[in-house]
């Protein structure tokens, strides 16, 4: 299998990199669905669904902005809530991701993500949610 490639299409408006999400990794790596255990998702933007953030944001709904950092009110309460949960559970910040994209550009952000979530065993991707590589089974200690 070809090593994972992060692309701009996998970066959600809230700053989530769908390329490190366990539902995306299961979907893209051909892991069979298991009711209640393994879900599949092709990513927020590819599936064209209104996520929690987009449902509650007029600017995102109207396509006036692409990312939350383009809003003068960033971070809003909804983004703050999501960010707090991800910081606590997964040691990852969507607000920090958004600031990095804003300040350094999407390509530098993608390079940073690739380095941060690269599996040391096979070179694929480690999930932010369970720190597991869905290709070789490596789990980060």
pLDDT at 48 over 70: no
How does residue 92 score in pLDDT terms, banded at 50, 70 and 90?
A: very high
pLDDT at 132 over 70: yes
Q: What is the pLDDT of residue 38?
A: 79
Left (φ > 0), alpha (ψ -120 to 50) or beta: where does 76 sit? beta
**Sign of dihedral through CA atoms 21, 22, 25, 27?**
negative
pLDDT at 68 over 60: yes
pLDDT at 115 over 50: yes
| pLDDT, greater one: 35 or 46 | 35
Half-sphere exposure of 15 (CA within 13 A, CB side): 26
pLDDT at 52 over 80: no
Q: What CA–CA distance (Å, rounded) separates 87 from 91?
A: 4
* CA distances (Å), origin 26, targets 38, 76, 78, 86, 106: 7, 30, 27, 20, 24
pLDDT at 99 over 50: yes
Full-prediction pTM beyond 0.95? Answer: no
Nearest CA among 49, 53, 58 for reference residue 82: 53
Q: What CA–CA distance (Å, rounded) separates 14 from 78?
A: 10
Residues forming a β-bridge with 133: 126
Q: What is the pLDDT of residue 6?
A: 86
């Amino acid at each position: 299998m070809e090593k994972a490639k992060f692309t701009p299409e996998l970066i959600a408006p809230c700053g989530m990199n769908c390329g490190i999400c366990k539902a995306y990794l299961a979907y893209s790596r051909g892991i069979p669905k298991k009711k209640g255990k393994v879900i599949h998702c092709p990513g927020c933007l590819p599936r064209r669904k209104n996520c929690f953030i987009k449902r509650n944001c007029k600017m995102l709904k109207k396509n006036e902005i692409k990312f939350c950092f383009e809003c003068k009110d960033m971070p809003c309460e909804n983004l703050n809530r999501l960010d707090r949960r991800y910081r606590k559970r997964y040691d990852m910040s969507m607000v920090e991701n958004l600031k990095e994209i804003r300040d350094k550009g999407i390509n530098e952000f993608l390079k940073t993500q690739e380095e941060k979530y690269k599996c040391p065993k096979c070179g694929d991707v480690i999930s932010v949610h369970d720190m597991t590589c869905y290709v070789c089974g490596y789990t980060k200690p």
